[in-house]
Chains A and B, each alone.
Chain A
Amino acid sequence: MTTYHELVKRLLDGELTLADLPPELHPQAREALHLVAALDREPVTLSPELVGRVMVSVRGRALSPARRVWRWLAAPRDFELRLRVRPLAIWGGAVAAAAALALILGHLSTGTSPVPVARTASSDNVVFVRFVLYAPGAKRVSVAGTFNQWNQEAAPLVLAGQDGVWTTTLALPVGQHQYAFVVDGERWVADPAAPAVGDGFGRRNSVIAVTPQGARTL
């Protein structure tokens, strides 16, 4: 097993650039970067049957907000409710509910959303992409990006062996995505094997292009 110099590990972790390393470490650093880059660029090919099964499962699990609300409403719960009301109060509540319903319908019939959601991605047009990060000592690692609304809980990586290599495979829609790894829930790290651009907040995001032929680290 190759043991890399601590500075090379920090380079892989995105904390240093090649220029920050002493010249004698450059060959080792380039070798490590090349290795990780090769790992990262490897497209994962799965059988169409498996893809189909996964997508059916994904679609089955994906719930719209309305369905989430419905599930919350429909889920059985234990309640104990004791009421002492006069008939007049019941009629009053019914009138109020009717008035509210009329208001809702009135708003729905005339209201339009001023902020249209521009992007719609076909869920069938996805490519499986493997993400790899060398992060020895990390307790947990995830990947967040434009493909999962920057949700750091959505795509955790798993430790592959004992060497500090974390990995996961995601089904990404075709298109260009920005992403970063989140180490221990607080440290945002750009992928050292992919080009990075400024995120507008003083940090860097990695860029990947997903095409029907596979993924490219753009």
Chain B
Amino acid sequence: MRALGFMLAAVGAIALLPLHAVTAQDIPARLLERVPANMVDSVQRIAQDAAAHGLPVEPLLLKAIEGSAKGVSAERVIAAVRVLAARLGESRNALREAGIPAPSPGAVESGADALNAGLNASQVRDLGRVSRPPYDPVVTLQVVAALTALGVPAPQGVRLMAHMIHAGREPKDLLELPNEVQISMARGATAAEAAEGLDAAQGGQGPQGQQGQQGEGNNPRKP
């Protein structure tokens, strides 16, 4: 009888193992390792919903992990993940309106970062419109987001980027813009003044300027 009891207990215990393993398998391993248990279900629900809508999931998981690493309360982390999911959706819609029918996960995430930095959806859409090959919306969105983070007004940053593209600057030159603004700021200019100076160099006319039509011949970085 004791042997039968042992056998039944063993069957029960071992049969339960795979059920638990499958549940854990459904959640990315690092989320389980890095996020408190009381947060995992909520984050997973948000992530599943995002995935069902074709949105990238990785940024959501990273945001949850980041919040946990920083010791933020579960409620606040979940709220931040929800906000990010909404921004990813807003970014994706803006890029579709810009004529990019299937924006890459990187572009959607960059658009969400730009929204987080202070751009609005129409500015993300405008950047999407001017970001045609060889210009990558990932780069243009991230650069303008960085300019905004430095204090450049968002409309001015979008305009500067459009002027750079219309002037035929090389895509890698776009990445230098935040550094150039920082250098001007270190010399005493405000962020807006720094961006205005760069814009003028592209043939724009400052905050009220028109789009530059300089062509590649005026690109000092090109051989």
Mask for B22-55, Cβ within 8 A of A = 1, else 0?
Answer: 1001111110001000000000100110010000
Q: Is the CB of A41 within 8 A of B179?
A: yes
A218 within 8 A of B: yes
Q: Is the CB of B15 within 8 A of A197?
A: no
Alpha-carbon separation in the docked complex, A207 to B139 (Å):
13
Q: How far is the CB of B208 from chain A (nearest CB, A)?
A: 25
> Which chain A residues border B149 with CB–CB below 8 Å?
195-197, 207
Alpha-carbon separation in the docked complex, A30 to B110 (Å):
30
Interface with B: A3-11, A73-81, A94-102, A164-172, which one? A94-102
Q: A95-B7, A96-B11, A104-B21 known; A115 and B182 CB under 8 Å?
A: no
Q: How far is the CB of A110 from chain B (nearest CB, A)?
A: 10
Chain B, Cβ-Cβ closest to A97: B14
> Which chain B residues border A50 with CB–CB below 8 Å?
none
Interface with A: B60-68, B90-98, B199-207, which one? B60-68
Q: Is the CB of B6 within 8 A of A115?
A: no
Mask for A187-207, Cβ within 8 A of B = 1, else 0?
Answer: 010000001111111010001
- Pick from B25, B65, B70: contact of A149, CB under 8 Å: B65
> Which chain B residues border A30 with CB–CB below 8 Å?
185-188
> Which chain B residues border A26 with CB–CB below 8 Å?
188
Chain B, Cβ-Cβ closest to A41: B179
Q: Is the CB of B182 within 8 A of A37?
A: yes
* Chain B interface residue number, banded: 35 or more
> Which chain A residues border B15 with CB–CB below 8 Å?
96, 99-100, 103
> Which chain B residues border A92 with CB–CB below 8 Å?
3-4, 6-8, 10-11
- Pick from B7, B56, B83: contact of A200, CB under 8 Å: B83
Chain B, Cβ-Cβ closest to A208: B146
Alpha-carbon separation in the docked complex, A188 to B139 (Å):
27
B138 within 8 A of A: yes
Q: Is the CB of A211 within 8 A of B3?
A: no
Chain A, Cβ-Cβ closest to B21: A104
Q: Is the CB of A100 within 8 A of B18?
A: yes
A60 within 8 A of B: no
Q: Is the CB of A176 within 8 A of B110?
A: yes
A-B contact pairs, 13 of them (CB 8 A): A30-B186, A88-B4, A89-B3, A93-B7, A99-B14, A100-B17, A116-B57, A117-B57, A119-B105, A176-B138, A176-B142, A200-B84, A207-B142
For the complex of A and B, 5 pairs with smallest distance between CB atoms: A92-B7, A200-B80, A96-B11, A195-B149, A150-B69
